[in-house]
Structure 1
């Protein structure tokens, strides 16, 4: 049976399309509004920035939509979503992720947990972001960054892998809270961003939230960093580094699994190209470290990330 988009996804899209004259027409400088993250908010591919998504500036309403595909040696992720920008002040976003876990499951055949072949883990992410200070473009000649606070509420549907999450003692929903500061240095053609996330998500939430003892169940603060260089007005290159909580490793060690449940930091090197004011394409080399290394022979998960965004 085909999965229909959640009603709220359709509602956000309909609201943006119905906004008519209020939609942004000229909008922001190319690429200064970021691209769509895997969670749907505006930023880099892996981490949110303080910028508000879409091309909308002050007094305008804008909308963006994205589709993403990432693949590593043992896993694949497909995602899509929409974001609504209100007056360059508030951003509402919704994204759906489909994580293909079947290759890794096939490697180890964890049948005792009732996991069936061809597993996909699905997760919905509802986000809201509020710009609380600064303006990345207008303050580009000062040291004042643009600052935003946001949250991402995530709900995962693990399918038959739910039995594994039960064993790990993880929850199937959780909320990340973050604050981002973005500094655009127009004269130097450089953008830098720092984000501090308060989270207990395992692998961004795809393996649930928290852990049974002796794993870590409480939230922790995790920093995330991005830097981008504007090669030209429509081309940027950059890198991201996202620290991750390692909630499950202690539980795995206590169960005699050693580092089989270890979680590593994420990083990427990306190229973003905007052939027009309404379209941007992002291609990245990603290194997601080891993802459940106990069933992937301890391989690092490296590969590509490709995302397309349309924004108005």
Structure 2
């Protein structure tokens, strides 16, 4: 993936040729853009296909997100295309402010530069394989989708740390999501099961040298959203994570310095129009390399804006 790919999809997302004058999709039922670009909640994908397009239509969306915790910050932006309410292709670029990682030089001469950023590109594909969240709202059947997220990370001066940990700089997550909309109660429920080797969503690479875990593991993710009115929703997400690196750190005498925790958030999503949605959340990312942050939990504000056609 490169800047040309991102620019092309962003341009398509704003192209009136893709926009439909009116669609049958209800506000917020297509989700918002996650930090990896796919439609869903902020930190986990849903089975829905992004954009405002319904069957027989093309649609597109673009987003930008900013999250700030006690010691870190993440900026993410990207775009997605949806076709026929069946297929979604997404791209995203993440910029992670890992300035706190300079403290690793006190453990070993890693050569981590002050103010280091980690950048990651994500290419996503999602396909709806069964159900329809809106049309099946009065039955037990959820909408089901399978997807993948291919990620490539550029750690900069943290490459020596990745080498020490035995972490790869690229990997692919595969997931299946089931989304159930209880329309008469304004309730949306989602469960995702992810097969992954990613450390901190991939920002710390993929897998680990022994005795850490280098194989895939299955991690569940859950979301619930309640539509207070047609343009306003509140909800929560919980995303379990693999703890691939902790055993490697313990073997190196670092104790729980590399421990990885689950992510969770509480959010408010508002759609002032069919083409714009804003999401504000309080996110708790647990401990992110607690050995350099005095074991502080990384919690803070998350703000995201999406335009969709």
Q: d(CA) in 2 for partners of 1:15 and 1:82?
A: 9
Q: Give 1:17 shift.
A: 5.2
Q: Give 1:7 shift.
A: 1.6
Say which of 283, 290, 308 aligns to 2:280.
283
Q: Give 1:11 shift.
A: 2.7
Q: d(CA) in 2 for partners of 1:273 and 1:5?
A: 31
Cross-structure match for 2:193: 196
Contact 2:12/2:60 (<8 A) preserved: no
Cross-structure match for 2:80: 83
Say which of 270, 287, 301 aligns to 1:304.
301
Specify the SS of the correspondent of 2:190. Answer: strand
Contact 1:121/1:206 (<8 A) preserved: yes
Unmatched runs of 5 consecutive residues or more in structure 1: none
Q: d(CA) in 2 for partners of 1:7 and 1:173?
A: 20
Cross-structure match for 2:207: 210
Match status 1:248 vs 2:242? no
Q: d(CA) in 2 for partners of 1:149 and 1:281?
A: 26
Specify the SS of the correspondent of 2:109. Answer: helix
Contact 1:244/1:266 (<8 A) preserved: yes
**Aligned residue runs from structure 1 range 152-231, under 5 A:** 152-231=149-228
Cross-structure match for 1:24: 20
TM-score by length of 2: 0.96
Cross-structure match for 2:41: 44
Specify the SS of the correspondent of 1:112. Answer: coil
TM-score by length of 1: 0.96
Aligned residues: 307
Q: d(CA) in 1 for partners of 2:146 and 2:16?
A: 25
Q: Give 1:199 shift.
A: 0.1
Cross-structure match for 2:257: 260
Q: d(CA) in 2 for partners of 1:108 and 1:167?
A: 12
Q: Give 1:138 shift.
A: 0.5
Q: Give 1:15 shift.
A: 4.6
Q: d(CA) in 1 for partners of 2:306 and 2:102?
A: 33
Contact 1:16/1:61 (<8 A) preserved: no
Q: d(CA) in 2 for partners of 1:132 and 1:87?
A: 12
Unmatched runs of 5 consecutive residues or more in structure 2: none
Q: Give 1:18 shift.
A: 5.6
Q: Give 1:196 shift.
A: 0.2
Q: d(CA) in 1 for partners of 2:260 and 2:250?
A: 13
Match status 1:97 vs 2:101? no
Specify the SS of the correspondent of 2:189. Answer: strand
Q: d(CA) in 2 for partners of 1:16 and 1:72?
A: 30
Q: d(CA) in 2 for partners of 1:10 and 1:78?
A: 17
Runs of 4+ in 1 over 6 A off after TM superposition: none
Per-residue CA distance 1:132-183 (angstroms, 9 max, x = gap): 0000000001010000000000000000011100100000000000000000
Q: Give 1:106 shift.
A: 4.5
